Amino acid sequence: MAIKLFESLSREVRELRPSEPDGVFRFYNCGPTVYAPAHIGNFRTFVINDVIRRLLELEFPGKVRHVRNLTDVDDRTIGQARTEKRPLAEITRKWTELFHADCAALNCLPPHVEPTATGSIKEQVDMIDVLMRKGNAYRSADGSVYFKISSFPGYGALSRIRERELKVTNSVFDADHKDDIGDFALWKAYKSEDDGDVKWAGPSGAAEGRPGWHIECSAMIKKHLGETIDLHTGGVDLLFPHHENEIAQSQCCNGTTFARHWYHSEHLLVDGTTMSKSKGNYYTLSDLVAKGYSPMALRYALLSGHPRKQLNFTLDSLHAAESALKALARFSEGVAAGAKALEEGASTVFDGVFRALGDDLNTPAALGALFTAVNATDPRGATLADKAAFNRVIYALGLDLSTTSANASKPSVPEAVEHLAKLRWEAKKSKDFAAADRLRAEIAASGYSMLDGKDGYKLEALRKA
């Protein structure tokens, strides 16, 4: 199965392929800034990237190299350490540990390498040295180093940002030290009033200080994946300036194509605006677990919208996800118990799921195809090919069904409730809506809700308040 994905630079849907003769697929995903808990918007991006990782593992078995960084030094991390009056490393360790725990709960595969910015200072300084030697960077009066965007004709190609917009968008914070307002910091000279004890020896001729944010990804990619990678991803907010700047740094330093494929997923919204740490309008995974929802329900809900469209988060979507997971867990159990004769290589009812995933990562269509297949198949009578395909689908989506609480067996509905449900269905069919409503109330009083479909109904135990 080919994996086709939208490519942000060309704006075309293109097939993912490794470029090097070793057949290794080189994948980099920008990681979190570890100064606060990651919110579920961040996890939308990481879960989407985890599905990409899983599809790559299936497509290029044993040949995927996935790197994701941890930004553990920048204005925000240093600011948090100063607010709490604690060492920077203590703050970033705490939030890194929570991030790892959340990733594990959401069943995200760990990257093969997870470098930190503070662990890659030498590589960043080396890269800045090369950029200064080549005339792409200059030292400013205070000993900081800036990238000169006029030295790179390709600047702006990814975000298609026009010069005028660039001037408005870019921070004017340190405009005094720059030749051009669009230039961005590769190295920031130490300022005792802002930086506390956070500083390193700088590139040649520069002051002591710390790296700018963008250079860390360029330097880590070069170290862990090489000069050209096959896929580079992140949320849409990273398109400009972060990824634009990464391209400029890496291509000027290495003189070759940086990323062959760029992919950006859209944001998770809450009440119609982007969920963000700075706005404070966010949920964390722990907030949802405290409300009684499972991490898998969140994973499912995050995959229920198209990754390239904004998704508005609601708690209702978690209810729907919990019941979908229960249905999948029941199917999974049935399939494990059954399975007919071997039908190697036969096409299966689950092919549509992979077609949707391979077609620009259309996760809502994939979930739709999954339920169509599950509803059309008696799990105990499923063929071995269907069983294998179902398991591959569940792996690709990263749904850990063993954690679904109602996976033991189909909850048995009391006979009396079944009887009421039958009566209500008949009443509804004969358009006696008053009787149908009365029966629905009786069913609810017995602790069940009746979900009506086109051709039948389902009974579900009501959640305990």
- Burial label for 173, CB within 10 Å (0-12, 13-18, 19+), is exposed
Residue placing its CB nearer to ligand AMP in the complex, 68 or 148:
68
Stretch that binds ligand AMP, among 170-178, 235-243, 407-415, 450-458 (CB under 6 A): 235-243
244 backbone dihedrals φ, ψ, rounded to 5°: -60, -40
Among 8, 45, 218, 250, binds ligand AMP (CB under 6 A): 45
Residue placing its CB nearer to Zn ion in the complex, 236 or 388:
236
Binding mask 206-235 for Zn ion (x = CB under 5 A): -----------x------------------
Residue placing its CB nearer to ligand AMP in the complex, 132 or 217:
217
Residue placing its CB nearer to ligand AMP in the complex, 303 or 450:
303
| CB of residue 274 to ligand AMP, shortest distance in Å | 5
Collapse the DSSP code of 207 into the 3-class scheme (helix H, G, I; strand E, B; otherwise coil) and give the result: coil
Among 30, 88, 103, 394, binds Zn ion (CB under 5 A): 30
Tell me if 182 contacts ligand AMP by CB under 6 A: no
| CB of residue 425 to Zn ion, shortest distance in Å | 55
Q: Find the DSSP H helices in 275-348.
A: 285-290, 295-303, 315-337
Q: Is-contact 186 128, C-beta < 8 A?
A: yes
Contacts with ligand AMP by CB under 6 A: the residue count is 16
What radius of gyration do the chain's Cα atoms show?
A: 26
DSSP 229: B
Binding mask 144-163 for Zn ion (x = CB under 5 A): --------------------
| CB of residue 279 to ligand AMP, shortest distance in Å | 9
| CB of residue 211 to Zn ion, shortest distance in Å | 12
Stretch that binds ligand AMP, among 30-38, 58-66, 130-138, 287-295 (CB under 6 A): 30-38
Tell me if 302 contacts ligand AMP by CB under 6 A: no
Stretch that binds ligand AMP, among 85-93, 268-276, 361-369, 449-457 (CB under 6 A): 268-276
Tell me the pairing of strands 448-452 and 64-68: unpaired
- Burial label for 150, CB within 10 Å (0-12, 13-18, 19+), is exposed
Considering only residues 236 through 265, tell me which ones interact with ligand AMP, judged by CB under 6 A.
Answer: 237-238
| CB of residue 69 to Zn ion, shortest distance in Å | 7
User: Which sign, positive or negative, has the C-alpha torsion 431, 435, 437, 443?
Assistant: negative
Residue 139, contacted partner among Zn ion, ligand AMP, none, CB below 5-8 A by kind: none
Residues 6+ away with beta carbon under 8 Å from 83:
none
User: Which sign, positive or negative, has the C-alpha torsion 410, 411, 414, 418?
Assistant: negative
| CB of residue 90 to ligand AMP, shortest distance in Å | 19
- Distance from C-alpha of 132 to C-alpha of 65, rounded to nearest angstrom: 31
Question: In whole angstroms, how far apart are CA 231 and each of 13, 43, 48, 53, 258?
Answer: 13, 19, 14, 11, 10
Token pair listed for 453: 């479909």
- Distance from C-alpha of 431 to C-alpha of 66, rounded to nearest angstrom: 57
Residue 267, contacted partner among Zn ion, ligand AMP, none, CB below 5-8 A by kind: ligand AMP
User: Hey, which residues does 291 pair with through a beta bridge?
Assistant: none
Distance of alpha carbon 393 from the chain centroid: 18
- Name the residues that contact Zn ion, by CB under 5 A: 30, 217
- Name the residues that contact ligand AMP, by CB under 6 A: 30, 32-33, 41-42, 44-45, 234-235, 237-238, 267-268, 274-276
